[in-house]
C-alpha cells in the first residue's frame, strides 16, 4: 500500500527521519515546514494522507487541520497529528479539529506506519490492498487483476485506478474534478474531458461481462458507481 503522504514538520531532523522511514515503507513523501507551504502543495495535488505536526511556526497544525476540513475539496483527506504533547485535553482538541488520529512523539517508525495503515483503511479504502467485489465484479489490488463472474477483464492503469476508486466509494456522485483529484492526483494539467475518455474505455472493458451498467452518468454532475438503476 503505497500512499502519497504530505509531511508537515518544521524540525529538519524529525522531518528527515520520518520521511526516510516513510520512503523505506514504499510511500511517496512531499514535505512542508510551514502551513503556507503545506496548503500550496495541497492546492496542486491532493495527498492521500497528511501527517501534521502540532507546533509549527505561524499557523499551527490544528489550524491547518481545520482549514482542510472546512474546504469541500480537502475535507476528506485523512489527517494524523504529530505532537510532543500527551495531554488528554490536547488530544481531544486535536481530534475535534478534524484529525483522524493522533500520535505522540517520540514514536517508533513501526507505530507510525501501523497508524497510517489503519487510518487509510478506514478513511481511504482505495489505498489499501483489500480486494473488492460487487455483483461478481472483482478487483484485486495486490495481483492487479480484475474479473467479471470469473472471466479476466483487461484494464489500462488509469481505468484500473478509476474502477478501484469507484468500487471503494459506491453509491455517490463524483464530479469530474473530484475524480481528477482522487484518481489522477494532480488535476492542474489534465482537462476534465479526459475523465470522460477513461470512463468510456472503462465501460467498454466492462461490457463483455455485463458490468458496464455499474458506471452511471449523472447528468450535469458527474459519475456514480451503483448497483441500483
Ligand atoms: Ca514542530
One domain, residues 38 and 111: yes
Mean pLDDT over each residue of the chain, to the nearest integer: 91
116: domain CATH number is 3.40.50.2300
Contact 215, 166 (CB under 8 A): yes
- Above 90 in pLDDT, residue 126? no
DSSP string, 72-92: TTTTTS-EEEEES---HHHHH
CA dihedral 102, 103, 105, 106 (to 10 degrees): 170
One domain, residues 118 and 196: no
| pLDDT attached to residue 86 | 67
Percent of the chain topping pLDDT 70? 97
* Nearest C-alpha neighbor of 174 from the set 125, 120, 216, 121: 216
One domain, residues 143 and 118: no
One domain, residues 96 and 158: no
Domain interval for residue 199 = 132-225
DSSP string, the chain: ---EEEEE-S-HHHHHHHHHHHHHTT-EEEEESSHHHHHHHHHHB--SEEEEES--SSS-HHHHHHHHHHSTTTTTS-EEEEES---HHHHHHHHHTT-SEEEESS--HHHHHHHHHHHHHHH-GGGS---EEETTEEEETTTTEEEETTEEE---HHHHHHHHHHHHSTTSEE-HHHHIIIIISB-SS--THHHHHHHHHHHHHHHTTT-GGGEEEETTTEEEE-S--
One domain, residues 137 and 108: no
Of 127, 142, 157, which one is at a domain's C-terminal end? Answer: 127
Ligand 1: centre distance to CA 9 (Å): 6
> Which residues are bridge partners to 218 per DSSP?
222
Ligand 1: centre distance to CA 52 (Å): 9
Q: What is the pTM of this model?
A: 0.76
One domain, residues 71 and 139: no
Number of folded domains that form the chain: 2
* Cell representation of residue 155: 484494464
Ligand 1: centre distance to CA 15 (Å): 9
Strands 132-134 and 101-104: unpaired
One domain, residues 90 and 137: no
* Nearest C-alpha neighbor of 180 from the set 167, 162, 164, 154: 162
One domain, residues 148 and 203: yes
Of 76, 97, 127, which one is at a domain's C-terminal end? Answer: 127
- Above 70 in pLDDT, residue 2? yes
- Above 90 in pLDDT, residue 121? no
Contact 138, 146 (CB under 8 A): yes
One domain, residues 10 and 37: yes
Ligand 1: centre distance to CA 35 (Å): 11
Tell me the average pLDDT across 54-60.
Answer: 89
Tell me the average pLDDT across 29-41.
Answer: 95
Ligand 1: centre distance to CA 21 (Å): 18
- Above 90 in pLDDT, residue 11? yes
Of 69, 94, 127, which one is at a domain's C-terminal end? Answer: 127
Ligand 1: centre distance to CA 26 (Å): 24
Ligand 1: centre distance to CA 149 (Å): 52
With bands split at pLDDT 50, 70 and 90, how would you rate the model's confidence at 44?
confident
Average the pLDDT over each of 39-48, 70-79, 124-133, 212-221 and give the range with the smallest value.
124-133
One domain, residues 155 and 72: no
| pLDDT attached to residue 97 | 82
| pLDDT attached to residue 188 | 63
One domain, residues 170 and 102: no
208: domain CATH number is 1.10.10.10
- Above 90 in pLDDT, residue 213? yes
- Above 90 in pLDDT, residue 203? yes
| pLDDT attached to residue 95 | 79
Amino acid at each position: 500500500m503505497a500512499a502519497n503522504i504530505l509531511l508537515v514538520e518544521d524540525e529538519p531532523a524529525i522531518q528527515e527521519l520520518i520521511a526516510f522511514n516513510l520512503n523505506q515503507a514504499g510511500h511517496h513523501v512531499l514535505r512542508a515546514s510551514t502551513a503556507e507551504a503545506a496548503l500550496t502543495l495541497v492546492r496542486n495535488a491532493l495527498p492521500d494522507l497528511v501527517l501534521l505536526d502540532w507546533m509549527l511556526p505561524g499557523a499551527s497544525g490544528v489550524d491547518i487541520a481545520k482549514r482542510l476540513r472546512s474546504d469541500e475539496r480537502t475535507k476528506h483527506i485523512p489527517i494524523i497529528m504529530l505532537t510532543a504533547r500527551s495531554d488528554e485535553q490536547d488530544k481531544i482538541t486535536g481530534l475535534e479539529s478534524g484529525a483522524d488520529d493522533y500520535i505522540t512523539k517520540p514514536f517508533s517508525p513501526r507505530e507510525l506506519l501501523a497508524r497510517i495503515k489503519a487510518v487509510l483503511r478506514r478513511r481511504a479504502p482505495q489505498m489499501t490492498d483489500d480486494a473488492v467485489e460487487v455483483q461478481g465484479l472483482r478487483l484485486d489490488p495486490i495481483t492487479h487483476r480484475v474479473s467479471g463472474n470469473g472471466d479476466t477483464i483487461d484494464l489500462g492503469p488509469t481505468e484500473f485506478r478509476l474502477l478501484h476508486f469507484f468500487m471503494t466509494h459506491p453509491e455517490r456522485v463524483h464530479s469530474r474534478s473530484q475524480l481528477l483529484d482522487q484518481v489522477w492526483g494532480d488535476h492542474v494539467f489534465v482537462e476534465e474531458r479526459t475523465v470522460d475518455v477513461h470512463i468510456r474505455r472503462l465501460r467498454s472493458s466492462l461490457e463483455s461481462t455485463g458490468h458496464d451498467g455499474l458506471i452511471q452518468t449523472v447528468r450535469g454532475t458527474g459519475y456514480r458507481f451503483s448497483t441500483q438503476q
